[in-house]
Structure 1
């Protein structure tokens, strides 16, 4: 069965927004783009706006679609978005089992961490590559 998810490459105050999140299955913190699963009957764009808001408290005024992909041997289909149009900031709205810290990092530092394996999240790497290839970061 196919699962749909979204991730957002978000730039706020000239910094890349990263979520540092504790993953129980991995028993450690991961560094990722904000995002998550699309809820029932939700469109990907709506899901991206909702996930960005819930995880970071950032409200985006617009999103640009970067593309949709699936990693081999993984049933999750991910649609990536980009925004540098943050119109408001509010408190996070996390689930009871979520522990998420919002980090703001230089894009070049994030690319370095992805490249040297410090941040091994595939979705983060693909999002940064697509955003850079399209001249957005």
Structure 2
């Protein structure tokens, strides 16, 4: 298996959170390919499984424009340009929930959808979280917290349909 050769790259549209581009690419040895192929360039992302000192999972409820629904998710957010993913996870946890932790573990990163998206989601476990931080919502965020006992997490997972949150929580459950 060989990587394809990108012959041309064209920026089509820059939105608030993504860059849409097209590429023309060919296989290095076979007469296949060309395109154009659609690519969405996004910032990397973090999702956090936050476990409190009394063994509850900190989840967030918020409205999502894409599906026009209120979702239940793990705390999450974009990694800012030049920011370390772990630093982003710590920042997002505090900003969205007011919780902080001194005990962090990686639950391993994933490619969000490598067929046409460029970004990576970094999953973290934050243990012994405590509400000693300060919430600091983005100007368009409206978040409610939901604390779920770890013992009830498998059942709660049935209500979560945000794919990155579900995968992050599933990775946590598989390791515990």
As a proportion of its length, which structure holds more helix? 1
RMSD across aligned positions (CA): 1.8
User: Which fold has the larger relative contact order, with Cα–Cα distance below 8 Å and residues 6 or more apart in sequence?
Assistant: 1
Aligned equivalent of 1:112: 155
Q: Could you state the TM-score of these two structures normalised by the residue count of structure 2?
A: 0.69
- The count of residues paired between Structure 1 and Structure 2 equals 133
Larger Rg: 2
Q: What is the rounded CA distance, in whole Å, between the counterparts of 2:142 and 2:95 in structure 1?
A: 12
- Give the Å deviation of 1:33: 0.5
Q: Is the 8 A contact 1:65 1:80 kept in 2?
A: yes
- The answer to which of 84-93 and 21-30 deviates more is 84-93
| TM-score normalised per structure 1 | 0.87
The corresponding residue for 1:130 is 171
1:8 aligns with 2:51: no
Distance 1:110 1:68, change over 3 A: same
Matched, 1:36 2:77: yes
Structure 1 unpaired stretches of 5+? none
Alignment partner, residue 91 of structure 1: 134
Q: Is the 1:61–1:87 contact (alpha carbons within 8 Å) kept by the matching residues of 2?
A: no
